[in-house]
Amino acid sequence: MHPLQSAGRAPDLTAAHHLLRHAGLRPTRPRLRLAWLLFCQGPRHVSAEMLASEVAATGFAVAQGTIYNALNAFARAGLVREVVIDGERTWFDTHVAPHHHMVDAAGHLHDIPADVVSLGNLPPLPAGQEIASVELVVRLRPK
């Protein structure tokens, strides 16, 4: 039996292992756990807090700071993308290709395909600068 299994299930960490290797990140125990949750399992949109409770639910303890460090490392490596939704917390999206988001009344995120948005003529950009990203957020409220 593999030492990393949780109650009853023995998650297959090989995929997560390859992902991390390929991204140039050391496959440490906490990172394997997190990568497994992010890429082989659950939701696409997570906050540090959500990820922390998901890990906890699998029976493993990962320090708060480690979750932030790992998430930032994943983002730097391009495995996840930081998404700005509000000032309350930082969201990470495992879907890294350009697209947009809808925030429902419960605070959950939903993807909006990139091609739903089209841009006309933008005001002139400052000299020597180019577009780094275009992100749209549609906020919903109860009717």
Partner DNA sequence: ATAGCTGCAAATGCTTTGCAAGGCC
Partner DNA sequence: GGCCTTGCAAAGCATTTGCAGCTAT
Site residues (vs a copy of itself, CB under 8 A): 84-87, 89-90, 102, 104-105, 110-113, 115-123, 125-126, 128-143
Q: Report which of 79, 77, 2 is spatially closest to residue 37, judged by C-alpha positions.
A: 79
Partner in contact with 139, chosen from a copy of itself, DNA, none, beta carbon below 5 to 8 Å by kind:
a copy of itself
- In angstroms, the CA 135 to CA 22 distance is 28
Q: Which range of residues in 36-44, 82-90, 96-104, 129-137 is near DNA by CB under 7 A? A: 82-90
Q: Which range of residues in 25-33, 35-43, 114-122, 131-139 is near DNA by CB under 7 A? A: 25-33
3-state secondary structure of 28: coil
- In this structure, the strands spanning 109-113 and 99-103 are antiparallel
- In angstroms, the CA 51 to CA 65 distance is 12
Residue numbers at the binding site for DNA (CB under 7 A): 21, 25-31, 47-49, 61-66, 68-70, 72-73, 87-90
